[in-house]
Structure formats: structure tokens, C-alpha cells
Structure 1
């Protein structure tokens, strides 16, 4: 970055020597010097600010301060690493790209790119922002990062990591089987009869006969006896043969 303090000196004072000083946000960034230019070899974001310059005569009898000029340093954005295709199959081609957005005001800035897997370089600095693997293998899996820098090497930016997995495809196993029908050792007629017999037997529902009572119930017997005695007694009490017995006889 180059900042110049431009002043027009009256032709009648063409031989007057002037000294220049530069300030950023009111603080001196370069003291008085015969050069009217302030240079920053590698501008960074913190170099942004409101710049002014002051000019004076060598005798310090005249001083003039410029108006302020705000200078914004446009930072190179951190790159983003991308992979194509999103799912990489073993043996397939893989393309890793280091995507960075450069400010339009710095469109002419040349950038160089480098790629790393698990912290180890897989492609050194080059103007290409792409790293290609023609035939991906399982060992190509890993955490990928990329770094971008200016040709002057004054600015470097590293991307975040992106883990890329190489997938191995295998044919799914299939299971086949056959069933062999078992043959009966019985002759066909005997087997048919046996099947019929088994079928007939299966239709019979067995039943259990209730047990026979071989002893009379005591309650029933006693009740019957009691009933008969009561009836006999009633008949006996009602029997009248015509004879009467007097009291005291």
C-alpha cells in the first residue's frame, strides 16, 4: 500500500524544502521526512484506518494538515475446501478444490494454493486451486486442508479441515439352497392304509364313563327309613279296634 501527501507549492517558493509526516487515527505511522510517500510493504487488516498527512517547512514556520482519508484493507477470505463427488468410490476420480473469495478490488492479486492430507503435503504451492486423484484408493481417505498465499508470501490463509472417506464396494453375498423330498420305506399300499388308519383314529373322540356307585348313600337310606317309620307310626296311632280303657283301670 502506498499513501502520498500531495501539496502544491507556489512557484515563487519553488526552492522551499518541505517535510512530510503521516498519521493513522491520529497516531504517527511515519515521522517527518523529505519523502511525500508512505509505503506499507504488506498491508494487513489492522492497517485500516483514517489517514492524514502534515507538511511543514524546514524552519517549522509553516505547517499544514490534510483532511482525513479512510483506507480499508480488504482481507483475503479463508478458503473453503470442497470435494467432488460428495461420495467417493474406490477406483473413481476425486477432485478437491480450494475455494476462496477475493475482494473485487484485489482482482489482480495472484494466489497460490497447496493441499494437505492429515497434515502432510499432497500438492505443493501452485496457481491451480484444484487437487485431483484419478483413481481413489482407501489410503486416500483422511482429513484434507488447503492453504492459499499471495505471490509475495505476505498473506497466508488456511482452510478448515474436511474429512473425505473413500468407500469400498463389495458384492452382497447370496444364499441358495435345495430341498430333497424324503421317500417312505413302506410300500405304497401299506403307507396308504396306515395314513387312512391314522386319519380314522384321529376322528374318534374318547369319553370317560362316570364311576358306578356301589354303596348306598347313608343320608338317602336314613331319610327313607325315617319316612317309613313316621308313616307307620301315624298308621299305628290312627288304628282303633273299638276298645276303650278307663282311667284308673
Structure 2
């Protein structure tokens, strides 16, 4: 028996037309997701699937699968095809390739350009920066976001406009560029760098002013020294100085043309010359010197009276002295008696003022004064003045009681006698009235009231010519001493009233 075995053989590598096909879009934009899909008439027979770009294998799969470009780039443009190993009968395999498909990846937008309104701006002036690019008409709806950078640091991030207005400072000089990016961040492009040089204007025209104006400070109150410059950009350092010692009182740095230094509690020692400086380029500009005058307000003045121990007699003249040694002139002094104004005196040089009074009994009471130099009114403490009747200028000595004896009168602190020439009851009546005694009784000689007056004691009145109605012997017409001795001294006897004893 003969057995015949027939073997059918197929050459390896023989391809069956159109068994493997490729599916790929022909056009895409940067950032798009592109899927390259190869399939056979019976994907189950695919043992190995290989993808190629421009003749180079880019991916291999053990079974049917697609190849995905998740973020397309122009470099992904090219020709794509695939090959597949498929199984035949038993252990035989065959390799088949697809047709070639072209992919073109277009630029979504070109690299942006940064436009700067001025590459050499003056500090603190506005500079406009614009980041510009363009989208194709069919992708005009794609949202873009823009960022601005300087020397590697982000200045402005994720703006939808790509337009910025900045007030730059000198330290903001540097390389600027911008970036445009899709919202998904799949496509990002940067502009070229642009160097911006910011110029600073040096300070000029330093000026020192004061508040209160004119450098007129008041002791105990505040004084503000105001330093300003006419121009200058950037941060300015202001300093304040004493002109006589060069002492620096303080300094402040700020982005302003004006700064203030306050002296909260002015003292007399603060008087003098001051100046300030302004500096933004290490070259200070100095102001002119301003002279500060410290006015001293009136303090509590001191009131003194010319009367010893604040006691005076009716008819005396008393001076009231009001003094404020520190008050800045001119000073207006006001005088008061029991809080009733007596009068005002203005003293151009300050210091002290005086007010005179011819005393009557109504002047008894408390006195005070005020000092006012326009910076406040201050009143002194009260001083009491006692006004009494003056002591008699006449007396009777060596008698049995105070209303009888030798007549003596007082002048300039000395006691002298009265000559009995023309001495009568009218004169005795005046003496009695002056001494507060009763009616005139007799006109005895002074010899009756020993001892006699000492020889050195003067005779003050030669003749007293009274009409009898005078209140005191001093009011009578008198003849000065001429040739009387103490043996002619006059005497008097008055009725001694009980209250007078």
C-alpha cells in the first residue's frame, strides 16, 4: 500500500494585497492629539504590528493597536505606514505592509514678539509692553495666555491680554521677554529678549520749610521740619541737620518728593539754624539754612508790692510790680484788685511792668497780675494788701494821760517841738481832734511837763496858725523855727475821753 503525502508550501514574505490598511488624518496643528490606526481584515491573525515614520520604526505591538501622538509637533510631520506579521496555516507566517499615509503638522502660532514702548524710559514713567502672536483663522477660537519675565523671574503671569503697563524703577532694568501658551499648556513659545535700561533723574532744588511757618516755634509745642525736592525719581533719602554743630537729627528714605521730621516738644535749646538734604544718587543736595526762633510762652508772673510786708497807710503811694523773666516779648501785663481790672501795660521788651496806686481805704484786698505775650495768658498768685489810717504826726508827752502834755510833731522819722508863739485854744483844738481826744481845755507851757526836751531835739514849728477846724496840725499854716528854745515849748490839755485812755 502506498501512502502519498502532499505538502503545500507558501513562500515567507508573500503579501496579500489590501489585507492591512492605515488610517491617519492628513493635517493637524501643534498640540493636537493624533491617532495612527492600522488594521487588517482579520485583526485576530496579527501577531506583530509595527509602525514606521519616514522609513524608521517608531512603535511595535504584539497585536492590533493604534499609535497615538498626544502632543503633535511640526517635527511629527512625515510619511507613516505599518507592517504586520500574520499567521497562516499551522506555523507559517506572512508579513504585509500598508500603504503610506502623509501627516502635516502645522504651527499653531508663531513665537510671540515683545514690543516695548521705550527701551530707555525715565524712572517711574509708564512703559507699555505688548506680547503679540497670531492664530490661524480655523483655530482663532483657541484661548491663549501670556506671561512676562525679567531676568528669569516672572513679573506677570497668565494674562489673557498680553498687554501690560508698568511704572519701572531703576532697579527694574534688565532683559525682558514674554511667553504665549495655550490654556492646556500643550503649546508654549517665548519671544526674544529685549533689554530695558531705566534712567533715574537726580534730585534737585532741596527746600526746608517749617510748621508753624517762618521758623516760629513755641516752647513746649511741636515743630515740623519739612524737606522737599523740586524733582527726582526713585527712592530719596532725606536728612535733617543743625547748621551750627552739623548734628544729624534724623533721616528717612521714601519714594516721595517730600518728607517730614517732627520735634514734638520744643525747648529753648532748639533755637538756631537748620538745613536738610535730599539724595537719590549718592550726591546729596542741600537746602538753604532756616533759622528757628523759639518763642517762650508767658509763665506764672510774680507780683510784688513796694509796701513793706504788704502794709500801707491811707494816702501812701504803692507800686505793683509784675514780672515774667522768661516770656518772649512783647508782653501785655494786666493788674487786678479783687479780680477787677485796674489797667494794662504793654512792655515791648518783656521783663517787668509797674502800676502805681494812691491808697484809700477802698484799696484793701487781694491783688494779682497777668502776663500775656500772645502765646497764652498766665496769672500770678494773689498778694493781700492791708491799708490803715496813718499814725498821728503829733503827740503829747509827759502828761497825766495821752491827751495832755508837751506838744511834739514828727518829720522824716524825727520828733521835734512846737514854739508857743501864737499858741492858743484853736491850735489845741486841732491837736485834740488829731489825737482823738475830747475838747480843748488849756494851753499850758511845755515847761510844766518835765523833763525838758533835749537840746539836740529840733523845734519844727515857730508859729501854728490854725482856724480850729483842721483835722491835723500839719494842715495849719505854719511858720518855721526861728529863735525859739525848748523853754518856749507849747503844751496842750484835752478832755480825756474814756475810749482814748
Deviation digits for residues 45-68 of structure 1 (CA, Å, limit 9, x no counterpart): 322211123455455447241233
Number of equivalent positions: 168
Q: Which runs of 5+ in 1 are unaligned?
A: 174-249
Report Cα offsets for 1:70-92 as digits up to 9, x if no partner. 43353642221102367745444
Which protein has the bigger strand share?
2
Q: Secondary structure at the match of 2:75?
A: helix
Matches within 5 A, 1:1-249: 1-5=33-37, 9=41, 16-18=44-46, 20-55=49-84, 57-59=86-88, 60-61=93-94, 63-74=96-107, 76-84=109-117, 88-104=121-137, 106-133=139-166, 135-166=167-198
In 1, are the aligned partners of 2:119 and 2:195 still within 8 Å (CA)?
Answer: no
Work out the CA distance in 1 between the residues paired with 2:169 and 2:106. Answer: 43
TM-score norm. by structure 2 comes to 0.28
Distance 2:35 2:83 in 1: 12
Deviations 1:104-126 (A, max 9, x none): 56545443322112332211233
Deviation string 1:16-60 (CA, Å, 9 cap, x unpaired) is: 554643210011112245445221122233222111234554554
CA distance in 1, matches of 2:51, 2:142: 26
Aligned mates of 2:112, 2:198 — CA distance in 1: 23
- Flag the structure with more relative contact order, 1 or 2, with Cα contacts below 8 A and sequence separation at least 6: 1
Q: Deviations over 1:137-192 (max 9, x none)?
A: 4444432111233444444322211123445679x99xxxxxxxxxxxxxxxxxxx
Aligned Cα root-mean-square deviation (Å): 3.7
Contact 1:44 1:75 (C-alpha < 8 Å) held by counterparts: no
Task: Determine if contact 1:112/1:125 at 8 Å carries over to the other structure.
Answer: yes
Change (3 A) 1:49 1:108: farther
Aligned residue for 1:66, secondary structure, equals coil
- Computing the radius of gyration from Cα coordinates, the structure with the larger value is 2
Runs of 4+ residues over 6 Å off in structure 1: none
